[in-house]
Every structure is written in structure tokens, then in C-alpha cells.
Structure 1
Amino acid sequence: MKPLDVVTFGEAMQMFVAAEPGPLEDVTSFHKRTAGAETNVAIGLARLGLGVGWVSRLGAESMGRYLLKAMQAEGIDCSHVVCDAAQRTGFLFKGRVTDGSDPPVEYHRKGSAASQIVPADIDVPWVTGARHLHATGVFAALSANCLATAHEAMRLMREAGRSISFDPNLRPTLWASTEVMREAINALAAKADWVLPGLEEGRLLTGADTPEGIAAFYRDRGAQVVVVKLGPAGAYFSSAEASGHVPGFPVAQVVDTVGAGDGFAVGVISALLEGRPLLHAVRRGAWIGARAVQVLGDTEGLPTQAELQAAAL
């Protein structure tokens, strides 16, 4: 395995994507794919040549074996993934739409193996040996022990002088209330160097209405970089050195919006770890996000190194 550039903690789920449009209860054929906010980012970064480590728990059934094999095939270090025959792997069904709207998603993840991750699962030398930690609000929402693990991982990386990115990636149904979610997510964001909220997420979390206001909220709480995702309109970015808007890239047809934010994160994180200027990083994020919405699965649009170089991004 190559030296680790990035580590992430998170749940991988087996995803069943509808083969045709219509209500999920009427669909008779599905395509099997991987899913998970953190694993989408891990796959994207690995395809760009970064050394990526993923920490998780899976069941030992066919779904868990499928996910582990898929992640290993991407070159991801899965040495800290526990497969437990006594636990279950989460899964989901995703519908198909033809109008560019968000597809319906039905999750089956309550009590999943990944929700059993605890702070003691952190291999401190292995995790802090990486240059960067990517965290999201999805993993933190799975259970109280996952939230504690997220905080501890971020604390350890900060103490080790490593950089941390955080995508709120809100899942309101996994939290006890909006207030609990807002407090927990903002506490995690306060431990990150790079914060990557969507516009509507930022409005809900900060009370600010504009991208500039959202960015100021997190900059005031310690973030060095804030990038507010604006969907087809691109993104707004803010740091001590620069701020501004990057337009979205043209999209011929929106096939599936799920995973676009993860693709965006791949672009920003990879470019910043390369030492590229923030403007370049946000343009790369917008380009990968645009690719992501033009394919059916969460990861099919994530580029390889060669594709990135061909696009001069």
C-alpha cells in the first residue's frame, strides 16, 4: 500500500438502483452499486492517485463482501475495516427520475455494522500518519458512538498538525431534532480547516441567507477555507487570501443528482492537497460535480488521473 494521504471514517452501503423510472414499489429490476458519502470521496481521491485509507465496519454477508471487494479494487487501504458476522451491512434502494430532480431514496441502515464504530477503533499511529482527514455529517449521525468517534478522530488529527475537511452532508432523519443536528454539525465544523456546505445546508445550519454570510459564519469559528456549493450555479469560496464565485460547468442532461457533492469534495480536497490555489480547487470541484450528475451511480462520474489531466484541471 502507498503512504496515506487521506483517511476517512464512514458507512458503505450496498445500493440497488432502479433499472427504470417509477415508484420504487413498481420497479422489478435493480442494478447493484456502492454507496456512502465518505466512500464516494475515498473512491474519487484514490482514482486521482492519492493514498486513501477507509475505516468502517461491515457485516460478513454477501453485501459486506461485495463492498469490501469494491473498495479494495479501487486501491483503497481497507486494513482497518472490520467484517463481523454478528452485524448487518446497510443497504438502500434508489429510484430513477427523468426530469433532473432528486431521485427517491429508501434507506435500510438502522443498527448497521458501521453504526457500531467506537473511538477505540481508531488506530492512532495509522490515522495520524495520513496527511489529511475527510469527515462528514453522515457518519456522525449514525449513532452517539459514531459522533464521539468523529470528534476524537478530528481532535487527534488536529493535535498531529494534519489538515481536516468537513462536509455537513445533512441527514435530518438520522438526528433527534433539527436543533440537535445543527449543534452537533457546527461543533464538528469548528474542528475543520476546510468546510464544504451546500447553500440550503448552510442556511439551515447558520441562519445566514447568502453564501457570503454562511462562509463568514464558519470562518469566524476557525475554518481556513469555506466553499459553499450552489448546485448548477457553481460555488462561492472564501479564505483569508481570496474569495469569489466559480460558475458551474455545463451539463447536457442531469441523470442523477446523488453524489454530486461528494464529487465536488473530491475536486477541492485533491487540488488543495496538491498545493493548488483555492480558485483552481473550486473549479476542479465544480467540474467533477458536473460529471457526477450525468451518470446513474454515485461513483461512475468520478474521473481518473488521466481524465483529470486531459481536462487540464
Structure 2
Amino acid sequence: MPKFITIGEPMVVMASQDIDVNLDEAVHFKKYLAGAEFNVALGMNRLGHCTSYVSKIGSDPFGRYIFEEAKKAGLDIRNLIYDENLLTGAYLKESVSKGDPATAYFRKNSAASNLKVEEIDMSLLNNVQVAHLSGIFAALSDQTLQTFKVFNHRLNDEKIVTIFDPNLRPILWKNKEIMISTINDLAKMSQIVLPGIHEAKILMGSTNPEEIANFYLKQSDLTKSVVVKLGANGAYVKTNSGQIFTVPGFKVDKVVDTVGAGDGFAVGLESALLEGKSLEVAVHRACAVGALAVQSAGDSEGYPTRSQLIGFYKSHNYRGDL
């Protein structure tokens, strides 16, 4: 039975192979798996953790591709539901030599955006210890926002550790004000919150890591720890018990693709916590997996196996707890 669970929208990304050519003019594309929470599920499974993935896909070529790849990867897909009447989400992504790539999404009224909580087999929560939640799934539709809230409450009722990544996607929200208020309300429902420093500027008006952490800790008695992602600079951590520390990032020689780095950070953090590691060790692993992620094309291709993670640590002379 899975000890880790996440809920979200799986997609197919058609990644341009034409470097520094805009999407209007690019003609060569390669197909990859995508979707923030799906990335996390794949990364957790790659590190040896049985993972349950909850979503809905269309009975179309993209949906069948996702289903077969998820099964091949070893995910628990008993809550990956086919819908004959709706399509699977997809998007196009630029290839750039520097900076973040432009994207174009095709996901409105997708199968995942119509997932109802009553379609989820809650009996699969019996053995779950850690859950990953993202603001993206909540943003897809009024239906998924309701599903998210009920699912989150059920996780908390079952005493499962909930970790919330805001993962801002302004294009999915009706307006900025609704996005900010909803995301901050959802953050109150998790024990650990993972805001990025630039996301926090939008969500609560500051880029000061301590102010960001204080904001989310003071919002809710349920929130025990805030891990502020600082990009290449690592992460700042503060807990409600007064523990404060900063973990430096791992330097890499070349950045190939920044998409998926934040999800990789979550993979590192959550896999370590699931193994009973300390929060500090978990954040070190989070930074390591994030650094590995940016060195590969595709959203999740850079996420390591256990041996690859150990090799990365050795190459960076990291001597801490693995």
C-alpha cells in the first residue's frame, strides 16, 4: 500500500527542439510527461517510495500515454480515472538557451478539471503518511477547488502530514486577488508550506524570507514549518517551535531547463521526511534534487534514482546525512 499520495492534473508537454525559436515558428517537438503533481509522484517513485496518484484523464492518445507511462513507472494508479467524454490537458513549451521558457496551455475543461471527490477511493489513504498538495489543482476549476478542500480535510482527519506548494499559475485564476486570497487560505490547511521567494512577493508582499515564514506560521496553528525556496541560493526554514536555518543551494555547471525544479525540490523534501529524516536533512535533499532537475530537458527527466542522488552528493562533497 502506498505511503505517499498526491492529487493533480497530469499532462503531456510537447517541448520544442528548436532553441530560441518562439512557439509560433517552432516546428520540431518532443513529447514528455508533465503536470506539477505528476512530476512529484514520478520523482517520489524513482526514489523508491510507493506513490498513489489521484486524477482523471481523457480516453485519448495523450491520456492513454499518461496511463501507460504511470503504470510502467510503478505508480499506484487505482485513482487515475478514465473519462470517455473529456480530453487530457497538454501544453507547448519553448526551448531557450537562458531564462524561463514560454508555454502555451490547452487544458480548459480538461478531464482532471472535472474530478469530483466522490470519485476518489479514500480507502487508499489507509497507509499514507505524507501527502503533496499544490495550488495548481485547486486553480483548475470551481470543481477542483471543492475537491481539493474536501480531500485536504480528509487527509488532516487521517493525521497524514500535508505539504502545500503554492505553485502559482495566474493564468488559471479569474483574477490576481482571488488567486492570492484562495492560495493563502489553502496554505492554512497544511503542516508544511513551501512558498517560493518570488511567489511570496505576490502572495504577501515581501521577499524577506523571515517575514514570509512568519506570515504563514501566524496564519494557522496547523502550519508547523515554512520552507522558503530561494532558487539557486537554497532555502530558508523556520518552524513554529523556533528552529531557524538556511540551507545553501548546490551549484551546477549548466542550466538546461528550469521547469520542474520546484517540483524536484518537493520530491527531495518529501522523500526524506517519509524516511524519517530531520527537516534540515530533508531540505538539503530538496536542494539537491532541484539542482539535478535543472540539468535535464523535460519536466521530470532529471529526477534521480537513489544511486544517482548519492552520486550527486559525492560529486559535490556533501558529507551530511543522506
> Could you say whether these structures have the same fold, taking a TM-score greater than 0.5 normalized by the shorter chain as the test?
yes
Alignment of 1:278-297 (within 5 A): 278-297=279-298
User: 2-side partners of 1:288 and 1:61: how far apart?
Assistant: 32
3-state secondary structure, aligned to 1:55: strand
Kindly provide the CA deviation profile for residues 39-86 of structure 1, in whole angstroms up to 9, marking residues without a partner as x: 000000001111100111111111100011111111101111111221
Contact in 2 for aligned 1:182/1:205 (Cα 8 Å): yes
What's the TM-score, normalizing by structure 2? 0.94
User: 1-side partners of 2:142 and 2:217: how far apart?
Assistant: 27
Contact in 2 for aligned 1:89/1:113 (Cα 8 Å): yes
Shift of 1:128: 4.6
Asked whether 1:151 is paired with 2:157, we answer: no
**How many correspondences in the alignment?**
310
Aligned residue number for residue 252 of structure 1: 253
Contact in 2 for aligned 1:128/1:156 (Cα 8 Å): no
Aligned residue number for residue 319 of structure 2: none
Alignment of 1:41-60 (within 5 A): 41-60=40-59
Structure 1 gaps, min length 5: none
Asked whether 1:227 is paired with 2:227, we answer: yes
Kindly provide the CA deviation profile for residues 196-228 of structure 1, in whole angstroms up to 9, marking residues without a partner as x: 110011121122331111111111123111111
User: 2-side partners of 1:61 and 1:52: how far apart?
Assistant: 24
Letter in 2 for 1:271: A
User: 2-side partners of 1:144 and 1:24: how far apart?
Assistant: 30
Structure 2 gaps, min length 5: 315-321
User: Identity of paired residues, percent?
Assistant: 42
User: 2-side partners of 1:235 and 1:190: how far apart?
Assistant: 20
User: 2-side partners of 1:271 and 1:161: how far apart?
Assistant: 18
3-state secondary structure, aligned to 1:79: coil
Asked whether 1:238 is paired with 2:238, we answer: yes
Contact in 1 for aligned 2:59/2:82 (Cα 8 Å): yes
Asked whether 1:208 is paired with 2:206, we answer: yes
User: 2-side partners of 1:163 and 1:296: how far apart?
Assistant: 31
Contact in 2 for aligned 1:45/1:52 (Cα 8 Å): yes
Shift of 1:164: 0.3
User: Pick from 167, 174, 177: which aligns with 1:176?
Assistant: 174
Kindly provide the CA deviation profile for residues 240-293 of structure 1, in whole angstroms up to 9, marking residues without a partner as x: 252111111111111111000000000011111211111111111111101111
* Alignment RMSD: 1.2
User: 2-side partners of 1:95 and 1:217: how far apart?
Assistant: 35
Kindly provide the CA deviation profile for residues 128-173 of structure 1, in whole angstroms up to 9, marking residues without a partner as x: 5411221100000000110111111110111111110010000111
User: 2-side partners of 1:202 and 1:47: how far apart?
Assistant: 30
Shift of 1:308: 2.4
Aligned residue number for residue 218 of structure 1: 216
The 3 A distance-change label for structure 1 pair 174 and 299 is same
3-state secondary structure, aligned to 1:65: helix
Aligned residue number for residue 266 of structure 1: 267
User: 2-side partners of 1:116 and 1:13: how far apart?
Assistant: 14
What's the TM-score, normalizing by structure 1? 0.96
User: 2-side partners of 1:275 and 1:123: how far apart?
Assistant: 27
Aligned residue number for residue 298 of structure 1: 299
User: 1-side partners of 2:133 and 2:119: how far apart?
Assistant: 16
Aligned residue number for residue 87 of structure 1: 86
3-state secondary structure, aligned to 1:24: coil
Aligned residue number for residue 135 of structure 1: 133
User: 1-side partners of 2:300 and 2:119: how far apart?
Assistant: 27
Aligned residue number for residue 318 of structure 2: none
Contact in 1 for aligned 2:58/2:86 (Cα 8 Å): yes
Return 188-197 or 213-222, whichever deviates more.
213-222
Misfit runs of 4+, over 6 Å: none
User: 2-side partners of 1:241 and 1:42: how far apart?
Assistant: 31
3-state secondary structure, aligned to 1:151: helix
